[in-house]
Structure 1
Amino acid sequence: MNSLINKTLITLLLLCPVQARAAEEAENTASAAAPGMDMAKLYEVERSSAGNLPLDSQLRKLLPADTVVLTMEVGEQRFHALRQEANREDAVGGLLLVPDPAIGPAWVNQVEALRFDLAQKGWLTLALEPPASERPSLPERTLPVMQPINAGSAGASGAVPSDSAQPTPAADTAQETNAEPPAPFAERFSERMDLVLEQLRSEPLEPLVVISFGRATPWTIDYLLSHPELDLALVMIDPLPDSAPDAPVLTTLLESLGDMRIVDIYHAPLPGYPRAAPDARIRKDLARREGLANYLQSPVSGSFTGWNDEMPWLTAKVRGLIKAGILAPIAEEQEEAAAAAPAPGQNQPGARPIN
């Protein structure tokens, strides 16, 4: 009897590590099965009914517990913003992340690594859900619609839920016929930017930096040029021209940037966009011709493989360039201003004290 019990215990002890390894392999397999989008799919996918606003409670389940999901309303728009507090008492500054408007519900994937990791490095981050882009609808859906969202640093994964089930093509047609046409994209984009920046600027955060992705870049620059009083710095990640009829032209906008602090980060090669390297050279040459003293460009080594929950190399790259291209120059200017200011009680040359 004792021999039987001993054999049973030994068997259980041997099975435990096997089961643990199996669970770990299953978890790794699930992570590997999470969407690893190539750039061709990432930047060609069109927004569709799958991009309906997800329920707040379901979005919260997909994100880290300390991510604040803000539901914002302005005019006829209702959208989300993801707020991540800095992990220190005095934040380094504020970061607004503006995803590419053409990737639909995958906007959460695009910002997840940067918004979370930079918050762990002392920044307060706020990620904006972009408005749906204005592009002619396809007569037949031939491109994939990216519904899945990685759960971010929480480690889970799942599909972005929508407020309703996907309608049939007939229902789509009926809804499009009855629905009022949306306001122009520029107007909707500007309204959302106004609202999220109002929240960021309500706190004593300096500096404030906007990080734009892909085709959000021309719209972001156009907005910043229209609001010079905001005095914001800009980080562009893989800036792309927007093919929408009323979209601002990226190269034309760059000519007007003046003293704005700009960091230009790009992947080359960039799958799905063969002009990434030539376009980057054009932007750099244009910055030199226009005398943009505060323009800094740097490529990301290696090929782009998709937006993942953890992208430590990209986070380190962005942090380093923000420090070199934005924080360091601001600190130098502050030191120069402090050195030029007269010391307390010191009179200006030629001035006499008044008795």
Structure 2
Amino acid sequence: MEMPVLTLQDYRRLAQERMEPPVWDFFEGGAGEEHTLAANVRAFDRIRLRPTVLRPAVSPDTTCKILGRTWAAPIGITPMAFHTLAHPEGELATVRAAAARGIPVIIGTFAGRTCEELAAAAAGAPLWLQVYCFRDRSVTRRLVERAERAGVEALVLTVDAPRLGRRLRDVRNDFRLPPGIVPANLDGGGFSSPAAHARAELDPSLDWSAVSWLRSVSSLPILVKGILTASDALRAVESGVDGIVVSNHGGRQLDGVPATLEALPEITAAVRGACPVLIDGGVRRGRDVLACLALGADAALVGRPVLHGLAADGEDGVGGVLDILVEELQDAMTLTGTRSLADILPDLVQTRAPW
């Protein structure tokens, strides 16, 4: 008898069974010796929740409002390339599952389905676009304009990738995209080797002027993704961004940087509510989301587990992953006496080691 799927780890196991090893490594791998990749998950293992008893929270309210839009839970899907490697429907299945649950999705620059069909699938649920800056800014401009016409509501500028990190699993596998797997929203070619394409096309001279340039070509809110220090967070606020994503690119850029949960407290302390602060990297349980909020984040973004659900069971698998996260979050809120997100304060958590 097949074991029931009860946790995100269960979906991970099923996904690995269904994926070809090089594709699994492409999704699962990190930069260098993968210390930061592992640290993202381990950081949550050091968190301890501190319940308040005799404070009923029978039906905790998980809704939150970010950039003027209500989310069903403080959970979103972080951008990842080529969902079509995990399932033929790719991002289309991801967006359908998320939209049905009121969960926002950040479309990757290298999505395998078009902005137009994804916007239609979102059916009015929040949909954002991740933006890489290419050497040829006209490529970036066309992507942004296409997404804005389709109904995307915000832009997430990835600022930690002036070049692609050294991902040794992909180097050893000499990873190439299978025939037919291409970025649906970009023109041209040369996409078969993601690493070679990034070296050739991403802008290595990217600086803070990119924020004002992006503002000049779009009226959409702009978030910056890849912030790990308080000084950069303050610089982002000064540049007029509408939000910050604390991220180390899932451990896929520079090995040896802090886990995102470790970096979060100094960033939220520096920003002091000037704009929403989101976080990705290592979220694997609903209680991890609760910990992020207690340390000052407005929401947590999930990455690899969504691909695991997609590979395991398409749209239903993505829905299963999101349902587990929300149910676990509700359980954690109920058992800590947390009635709503407004009740989540820093004293809800303790850590084994000081940040």
TM-score by length of 1: 0.36
Higher RCO (CA < 8 A, seq sep 6+): 2
TM-score of the superposed pair, with normalisation by structure 2 = 0.36
Greater Rg, structure 1 or structure 2?
Answer: 1
